[in-house]
Every structure is written in structure tokens, then in C-alpha cells.
Structure 1
């Protein structure tokens, strides 16, 4: 999708001219660059609603595919989308897929993708642990009662 860019100050000083690409060109959004903060993206309400409708439909389709007997096919394709998932054991790949689908469905009601981002980060770190033999050994070694914790010296 085409995105034009402009400094945030340009929006303040020349709002009509800065926003004109939203209606007079193929640009679907304008990225407003800010010096001391994160950039902003401006789009029209119509474009936002269209994008939301498309994402919502795609999420429903994906969920329906996974939950109606096609999970194995999706599991086979998972490494193409998430290469790090190759390091997860098969059972964990399946758990990840179900959690991913359930989280996608839940965020539709919240109108935020932050929980999906968090889920992906957590599973990627899990895959990193499985990929590193040293880390995996530390995390999977036997646990037990190692006795009372030593007392800290008085301050």
C-alpha cells in the first residue's frame, strides 16, 4: 500500500496540503515523522474501516480453516510464516497454533493487536530456548529441594 511521508510540523503548518495525498493520489496513509517521538500514521476513516473489515474477514477464515480439520495442513505451513517454529517440538507447534488462532479471535473484540505481538514474542523466545542446547539443558535439568536459601549478611 502506498504511504507518503511528511514531517509532523508540516501537518501543523499546512494541514490541507499535508493531508491532500489521502484524496488526490494513491497514498492510503501518511507517515508523519516526529523528531522526539514515534512516528504517526494518518489515514481516512473509510480506509481504516476497509482495512479493519479485510483483516477481520481474513482472521475469521483462518480460524475456520484451523478449527475445521485443517490444522495439520496449517501446521505443515507454519515454518514458512514463522521460521523459528521449526525449533519447537511438534506438540508445542500445535499448542502455539491454537493459542495464535484463539488470540487472533480475541483481539478482534479488543481492536488491538498487542496481545498477538506478545504471544509471538513469547513463542519465539521459547523456540530460541529449544534451539540453544546450553539454554535447553539449564531449563530442563532436574529440579529438587536444594535446602534453605542462605541468609543474607546484615546490612
Structure 2
């Protein structure tokens, strides 16, 4: 069950910082979602809480990597249980689920090393989009049918500075 963080407008934080911070510390997540009118919302939490989140991702990733390296069966088991964590994985072919697992774990490991767990979001979004294509038979058929004619070779894009 996901719990929602406390919420406030950014102006509340600026006008009543002590009250707003108290609401943050009293919330289940010990954070507060700050709504902004003209830009992306912010999430405010303590540095210690943010570090804890990074440590959890790091520890979990290390466990998955160690399991996958120590026993080939681990990949098979993790591939089998991945749909529990990501229900949309059920629409991917088996080989793609394994590919997703490997990419997810490798990206998570790199993200922790780079201190940017946000690097996982595009991986999840890309694979979720792939699952969506597989789930839609019409769309999948359109995207995988052979072309009726050869459209010729494609030139590589120009790289600036070369």
C-alpha cells in the first residue's frame, strides 16, 4: 500500500516554514510534495531520508547482481517473479522479460554509482511502452509486419564537429 506524502504549495513553505516542515516530519513518508504554479512540483525531505532511499536502491541492486552472478537459476527465478513487481511485464515475450531484468539491474547499479536513481525512470518507461505495444495486437501487427517495398538505404546522421 502506497502512502501519500504531505502536500503544500511552495508559497506555504515560504510564508510559514516551521509549520510546513512540521507537517513534513509528521507525514508517513517524512516528506512533503510542494506544488508550484509555474514549474514542476518539488519533493522536500531530509538529507538523511534521501540517503536512506539511495542506500536501499544500492543494497537491493547489489543483492540482485550477486544473485545473478552466483547462480544462473537466479536469472530464471527473477524473470519469473518480475511480473509481481511490474504487472505489465506479462505482455512481454519471455526473452524480453529477461532482457528487461538485466537492463534494469545494470542501470540501477550505474544509477547508484552516479548518485542519480532517476536514471531508472527512462528504462521503466521504455519497457512499459514496449509492453503496451505487445499488449495491443493491432499496433503490434502494424509495427512488426514486413514492408511491402524496400525504401532504400538510410544514411547515418551527421555528427556535429566531425
TM-score over 0.5 (shorter chain): yes
Q: Does 1:106 align with 2:72?
A: no
Aligned residues: 147
Q: Secondary structure at the residue paired with 1:20?
A: helix
Alpha-carbon distance in structure 1 between the residues aligned to 2:85 and 2:101: 12
Going from structure 1 to structure 2, the CA distance change for 1:14 and 1:97 (only over 3 Å counts) comes to same
1:40-61 CA-to-partner distances (Å, cap 9, x unmatched) read: 2211222222222222212211
Listed as ranges, the gaps of 5+ residues in structure 1 are 149-155
Residue 26 of structure 1, CA deviation: 5.6
Q: Deviations over 1:96-130 (max 9, x none)?
A: 11111111111112222333211111112222222
On the 8 A contact 2:57/2:112 being kept in 1, the answer is no
Highest CA radius of gyration, 1 or 2?
Answer: 1
Report the 3-state secondary structure (helix = DSSP H, G, I; strand = E; otherwise coil) of the residue aligned with 1:145. coil
**After the TM superposition, which parts of structure 1 deviate over 6 Å for at least 4 consecutive aligned residues?**
none
Instruction: Tell me what 2:19 maps to.
Output: 17
Distance 1:139 1:47 in 2: 44
> Is the aligned partner of 1:135 residue 2:139?
yes
CA 82–12 in structure 1, closer or farther in 2 if over 3 Å, else same:
same
TM-score (norm 1): 0.78
Task: Determine the structure 1 residue equivalent to 2:58.
Answer: 56
Task: Give the counterpart of 2:43 among 41, 44, 47.
Answer: 41
Q: 1:125 aligns with which of 124, 129, 150?
A: 129
Structure 2: stretches of 5+ with no match in the other structure: 154-162
Q: Shift of residue 141 of structure 1?
A: 2.1
SS at match of 2:33: strand
2:147 pairs with 1:145: no
Check conservation: 1:22, 1:44, Cα contact below 8 A: no
**Counterpart selection for 1:91 from 86, 95, 116:** 95
Query: CA distance change for structure 1 residues 140 and 51 in 2, over 3 Å: closer, same or farther?
Result: closer
Segment of structure 1 superposing worse, 27-36 or 120-129: 27-36
